[in-house]
Amino acid sequence: MLPDFFEFYSPTKIVYEAGVVSDLKPELDIIGIQKYFVISDHIIDDLGLVQKVADGLEAAGCEMVGKYLDVAQDARLNDVQTCAEKVKSSGAEGIISVGGGSVIDTAKAVNILFSVGGDLVEDYSGAHTLTQPLKPHVVVPTTAGTGSEVTFVAVIYDEENKEKLAFPDKFLMPNLAVLDPEMTVSLPPKMTAATGMDALTHAVEAYVGIQAAPISDVFALGAIELIMKYLKTATEDGQDIEARGAMLIAATMAGISFTHSMCGCVHGMAHATGALYRVPHGVANAIFLPFGMEYNFEEITERLARLASVMGEDVSGLSEEDAAKKAIEAVRKLTASLNKLDALSLRLSEVGVPEDGLADIAEGALNDGTSFYNPREVDPDELLPFIQRAF
């Protein structure tokens, strides 16, 4: 069935090649500026990846005029303000972010203050508050998960008020996403598995969500196929460039799909679990994904049945309902295989969530913005038994 209305906007140029970070001249010539400020973190820097980008800039006739490496595990409000001051005084004409979701989101928020000025919370809270394009932002992802390199949102943690603030704005979509699998080979197995499951959750929730539309479906299905085929290999053998490349592409495709179709109750539960018990986002998504698919089952049976074959399951001769169950089984087989590699936990009890905290997670999922897009109404009482089974 076709939706009555949808829109699709994805202005970020994507380049993919192993080693392309060292050969960016054609792309940077198009952007047309020379002075870049690099935003990253110390782990990425210690791995030599910031230097790799600096060398790539130099080879392209550009210059790294400054860098900020203090981005924390969560993108933090204080970092945004401090970093923006440094970017402004550096003489930079644009930003390159090198890292995972926190680094990229920090850079997006920094670019607002760098390009337009003002105070992030006071002047830009709410959605789509910007009225002009920002300065060039090039993203080099070092994880394959968040898809932030192509999304329109920056999520920033306000330490003082202990809340995550979302800044959705089409002008936050980066100019260029540089997908270089060599930049992800040193990602440890646990991070590879968790970030990859985050990408899978984006794609599945975008595909079954109420805002799913034909164009975002294509990106979701393409991402799911690649992740089911390559995530285990990328986790098992980090040096496998084909698997690393496939996961980078898949995470970006999943990012394009969910930036249009949004996420649902799995992300709602994961956000609550992350806020309450500091469980990493990808780990929480991996634990909740099959249970979220079960919670929504009646509303999405037909879509799940289509997913099963994309996930590589043989559904010939099966009823729609049985085929749909195969999609959930396929996710469980994948997470079990990652668990066997000691790269992923499968239960809330294994990641520090107390049993008496489960009701709070259900309540948190209801209050999360994603509940609006879930195919089944998020009712904490009805969701709780599924969360209990994930314990």
Which residues contact Fe ion by CB under 5 A?
198
Locus of tokens 């646990």? 190
Classify residue 317 as left (phi > 0), alpha (psi -120 to 50) or beta: left
Locus of tokens 């074959």? 309
Give the nearer residue to Fe ion in terms of CB position, either 180 or 198. Answer: 198
Task: Round to whole Å and give the CA distance between 281 and 321.
Answer: 30
> Which residues lie closer than 8 Å to 377 by C-beta, 6 or more apart?
none
Residue 356 is encoded by which pair of tokens?
A: 């008496």
Task: Round to whole Å and give the CA distance between 142 and 308.
Answer: 30
Beta carbon of residue 101, minimum distance to Fe ion (angstroms, whole number): 8
Beta carbon of residue 247, minimum distance to Fe ion (angstroms, whole number): 15
Classify residue 19 as left (phi > 0), alpha (psi -120 to 50) or beta: left
Nearest Cα neighbor of 197 from 290, 311, 286, 291 is 286
Give the nearer residue to Fe ion in terms of CB position, either 115 or 148. Answer: 148
Give the nearer residue to Fe ion in terms of CB position, either 323 or 361. Answer: 361
Task: Round to whole Å and give the CA distance between 280 and 184.
Answer: 19
Terminal-residue alpha carbon distance, the chain:
36
Give the nearer residue to Fe ion in terms of CB position, either 198 or 313. Answer: 198
Give the nearer residue to Fe ion in terms of CB position, either 36 or 295. Answer: 295
Beta carbon of residue 86, minimum distance to Fe ion (angstroms, whole number): 29
Cα-to-chain-centroid distance, residue 301:
25
Beta carbon of residue 202, minimum distance to Fe ion (angstroms, whole number): 6
Q: Spell out a b/e string for 309-335, using b for 16 or more CB atoms within 10 Å of the CB, else e.
A: bbbebebeeeeeeebbbbbbebbebbb
Give the nearer residue to Fe ion in terms of CB position, either 105 or 180. Answer: 105
Give the nearer residue to Fe ion in terms of CB position, either 201 or 235. Answer: 201
Q: Which residue is nearest to Fe ion (CB)?
A: 198
Beta carbon of residue 16, minimum distance to Fe ion (angstroms, whole number): 21
Task: Round to whole Å and give the CA distance between 292 and 112.
Answer: 35
Beta carbon of residue 120, minimum distance to Fe ion (angstroms, whole number): 22
Beta carbon of residue 267, minimum distance to Fe ion (angstroms, whole number): 6
